[in-house]
Structure 1
């Protein structure tokens, strides 16, 4: 092989090598471009998903704020009703205790006093029960479901109508045992006290028994707790005839704001979690 042929061959090999490197670089550049494009597309998709999640969270927060606002309004209505009852009873000389945060109007021994071991309402207790019934029938109807004429006759506010779901007349006893055939009868006694109070209210103001909620269900019912729910600071370790624990509580349950579409959606979302 001549020197010229050798040089020519070296030039051909060099050209081939440069072409191979160029091909490799082109291939790497192509892979880089494809990878970059995939990264950009994935990043954009992640951004869209993050934005969608933020929008969803924002909507949920708005719904929950609406829910809190709705329930706050209900709590305000309940306290308004309880305070109205408290003032009306005080004007009649009957002192009661209001626990607005739990919706309770407490009729302790200042309002309705029970003799130990008995459920009868006699003497001043019976007279006070009659006054309480008259106050209840004067205030409560505007918080129940009334027809248009009845609501207009009472000049009820539209915001209060249908707000009340139920009223529990709750009977309580002190912690003195009342044994009969080996069974403590305090549960029965507390229930009988609640029933006696309900019947007294119904006898004085029969229309109370006809009051209904949004679902056309009557609002009044009774419950007996025995001595299982003593007043704060009056939970004794030994049998004690405490008249303050022999009481009637009226517990007012307000209707949830289920007619609000935002609230319904919020509740559904919370339930799906």
Structure 2
């Protein structure tokens, strides 16, 4: 009987020891999970901050460009969409309806804008920024010259096959006129040493006004300059995480 009692106590002690070990292991796993959760939360927070800072840098850049355009030509009015990072040029001052060639007024307007870009963009691109630039935490990755049209089909007999081709040709001619007015623009590079200037045509597929009135169609006929900022790199995020500790 005494030996049975001893064996029972030993069994209970071993079982208790087993459960204590399991509990310790579970506590350790929970601790590791909490550490990982904190790490990823910090990483998300820093990436969100980096993206927010990039958005603020882009907003300030757009303001600088708009002010420089208006300084050069107080009569010129361009629309800024800060949320989308777009500087919008109404097509009616650039092209006749259905035409791909810039009007005389359009050429002058595009050259004015190009010289303003030539003045401002070196502060956000490479080679390194000019000394008179304000500090900028983020750099420009690309500037797309986008052509857009209304939904009206082209009239019969036109050489151009459709609105998509029309928009691409308009964007291309705008690019050429910009380079003519500001030859330094094609030399601007992003961090990867790629040219920041690019061209795209969207036809009627990215309307900003879905109405069918003439006013809505006029708004949709436009050239957009879309600015994309550099995304935060992993090594930049790692440095930010080290600073946050």
TM bin (shorter chain): 0.7 to 0.9
Q: Go from structure 1 to structure 2 and tell me whether the alpha carbon gap of 1:241 and 1:196 turns closer, same or farther (over 3 Å shift).
A: farther
Question: Does the alignment pair 1:106 with 2:88?
Answer: yes
Question: Does the alignment pair 1:120 with 2:97?
Answer: no
Q: Which stretch has the larger CA shift, 193-202 or 116-125?
A: 116-125
Question: Does the alignment pair 1:94 with 2:65?
Answer: no
C-alpha distance in 2 between matches for 1:129 and 1:257: 32
Secondary structure of the 2:130 match is helix
Map 1:118-267 → 2, pairs under 5 A = 118-147=99-128, 151-152=130-131, 155-159=132-136, 163-178=139-154, 184-234=161-211, 236=212, 242-258=217-233, 259-262=235-238
C-alpha offsets along residues 123-178 of structure 1, whole Å, 9 cap, x if unaligned?
A: 3222111111111111111100124xx623xx234535x60000000001111112
> What is the CA-CA distance between 1:263 and the residue it aligns to?
7.6
C-alpha distance in 1 between matches for 2:23 and 2:147: 65
C-alpha distance in 1 between matches for 2:57 and 2:177: 27
Normalization by structure 2: what TM-score? 0.88
C-alpha distance in 1 between matches for 2:189 and 2:115: 18
Q: Go from structure 1 to structure 2 and tell me whether the alpha carbon gap of 1:240 and 1:99 turns closer, same or farther (over 3 Å shift).
A: closer
C-alpha offsets along residues 22-63 of structure 1, whole Å, 9 cap, x if unaligned?
A: 222221111110000110111011101100110111111111
C-alpha distance in 2 between matches for 1:125 and 1:159: 32
C-alpha distance in 2 between matches for 1:41 and 1:194: 70
* Of 54, 65, 69, the match for 1:74: 54
> What is the CA-CA distance between 1:184 and the residue it aligns to?
4.6
* Of 20, 28, 38, the match for 1:48: 28
Q: Go from structure 1 to structure 2 and tell me whether the alpha carbon gap of 1:241 and 1:192 turns closer, same or farther (over 3 Å shift).
A: farther
- Following TM superposition, where does structure 1 have runs of at least 4 consecutive aligned residues deviating by more than 3 angstroms? 238-241
> What is the CA-CA distance between 1:213 and the residue it aligns to?
0.6
Instruction: Give the number of the structure whose alpha-carbon radius of gyration is greater.
Output: 1
> What is the CA-CA distance between 1:221 and the residue it aligns to?
0.7
Q: In angstroms, what is the RMSD of aligned CA positions?
A: 2.5
C-alpha distance in 1 between matches for 2:119 and 2:157: 41
Aligned residues: 237
C-alpha distance in 1 between matches for 2:219 and 2:100: 14
Secondary structure of the 2:217 match is coil
Structure 1: 5+ residue stretches without partners:
1-19, 266-273
**Structure-1 residue corresponding to 2:10:** 30
Structure 2: 5+ residue stretches without partners:
none
